[in-house]
Amino acid sequence: MVTLQDIADRAGVSRGTVDRVLHGRGKVSAEKAALIKKIADELGYEPIAAGSGLAIYRKMLHLAYIGPGDFKMAPFFKEVALGAKTCAKALKPYNVTVDFLYRGDMGSRGAEPIDPFTSGPESQDPETGQKTKLMTPFEILDKLKNTHYDGVAIDGLMLKSMKELEMVLVNRGIPFTVFNTPAAMGRALMQVSCNYRNAGKLACGLASFGRKGPVRVGIVSHDYGNIDSSTQRIEGFEEEMLNHEGMEIKFRLFMQSGHDRKWFYNQVAQKVREEKVDVVYLVNPGDYSSCEAIRKAAEKDGSAAPAIITNDLVSEQEKEMLRSGLINAAILQQPEVQGRLSLQTVFDYLAYGTRPKEENYYTDLSIVIGQNVPD
């Protein structure tokens, strides 16, 4: 189902402006109104019939969004949650309630299962900034068992790490979608993520861009090196390397169990000095502190800092790093689309019986450099 928000995003206006144009609820400039109507036609927007809308309203659908909530350590998921919040607002007029269940144990490094007893620090609501309770995976599991949910959008990494969650959803017949990390193949309505392998290929192309002769590359990632977002990006990078003669990976560093961050950053700095790499591919960037470690390592040796290529653009910190040239390029994967579409797909299925055409939906990849950093 095409939503008002979809049209608003394409037209570069607010959802309220689209609503005024399509439902005749206020004044909008003729030029802007024409653009909105054109986009609505192109996307195949169909207004909800009064009878259909009333039937949906009476269902009183109750959905859940389940994802990481430690936005300081993983700011990417703040944007995912904000996308889901946008969808929840759009569904509110249809009497749809969405519970946001944030887990505290990130499990983002992947080598060990998510600790079911750990909730982690308190966080803030991504929209209001109010303090938000972070839940342990067991608390989320209990919530699923003891609350009637009609549908769920859930982080794939958590689903892969805690099979009990998947069994509860399947055994109860709760339709669900998966975002960010593919999981529950054949059971989820749809999986929404970026194509990690293609992202890795794109990073390799950027690493070689404008360079002649051998290119020495270091790979750094804030995970244990065995989760899809890491392994598939690196595989894509290595595959694309076959098309670039003279490119060589000189080191790989992953955040291992028991390593504190300061120790890890020192290891990154040491490897950069030892190997004299031209490019560092920061695969899963965490809080981006590795970038400062790389810069300081180069300054200590009096050498030029290697180019840094990373993923996502979700924090003011990273935006400033791009503007200043500390980060040379970031590959974006539309986190807000992952959150919004995963929730919207569940609603479409419950409200209209509409199944997605494809099991896997890959978000668009785009490149941001210092000269086109969005405000």
Question: Is 234 inside any structural domain?
Answer: yes
- Please check whether residues 28 and 175 belong to one and the same domain: yes
**Residue 331: both structure tokens together:** 């590959």
- Please check whether residues 307 and 350 belong to one and the same domain: no
Report yes or no: 165 and 158 within 8 Å, Cβ to Cβ.
Answer: yes
Question: Is 375 inside any structural domain?
Answer: no
- Please check whether residues 243 and 294 belong to one and the same domain: yes
- Please check whether residues 270 and 344 belong to one and the same domain: no
What Rg, from alpha-carbon coordinates, does the chain have?
22
- Please check whether residues 17 and 153 belong to one and the same domain: yes
- Please check whether residues 233 and 97 belong to one and the same domain: no
- Please check whether residues 206 and 176 belong to one and the same domain: no
The pLDDT tens digits along the chain (375 residues) read: 677 888 988 899 988 888 788 877 678 888 888 898 889 888 877 766 545 666 788 889 999 999 998 887 778 899 999 999 999 998 998 899 999 999 886 544 443 445 544 555 667 888 888 888 889 888 999 999 999 999 999 999 888 888 899 999 999 999 999 999 877 677 999 999 999 999 999 999 999 998 888 999 999 998 888 888 899 999 999 999 999 989 999 999 998 655 677 888 888 889 988 999 999 999 988 778 888 888 888 888 777 889 999 998 777 888 899 999 999 999 999 999 999 999 999 999 998 888 888 899 999 999 999 999 987
- Please check whether residues 169 and 20 belong to one and the same domain: yes
CATH number of the domain enclosing 256: 3.40.50.2300
Question: Is 370 inside any structural domain?
Answer: no
Question: What Cα–Cα distance (Å) separates residue 300 from each residue in 219, 305, 319?
Answer: 21, 10, 25
Question: Is 374 inside any structural domain?
Answer: no
- Opening angle at CA 28, ends 26 and 33, nearest 5: 120
Question: Is 265 inside any structural domain?
Answer: yes
- Please check whether residues 21 and 112 belong to one and the same domain: yes
Question: Is 371 inside any structural domain?
Answer: no
Looking from the CA of 211 toward its CB, the CA atoms found within 13 Å total 19
Question: Is 40 inside any structural domain?
Answer: yes
Q: What is the pTM of this model?
A: 0.79
Burial of 21 from C-beta contacts in 10 A (0-12 / 13-18 / 19+): buried
- Looking at the DSSP bridge assignments, the partners of residue 98 are 63
- Please check whether residues 146 and 174 belong to one and the same domain: yes
Pairing of strands 279-282, 247-254: unpaired
Q: Using CA atoms, how far apart are residues 152 and 174, in angstroms rounded to an integer?
A: 7
Number of domains making up the chain: 2
Residue 218 belongs to what domain range? 196-332
Q: Using CA atoms, how far apart are residues 327 and 367, in angstroms rounded to an integer?
A: 12
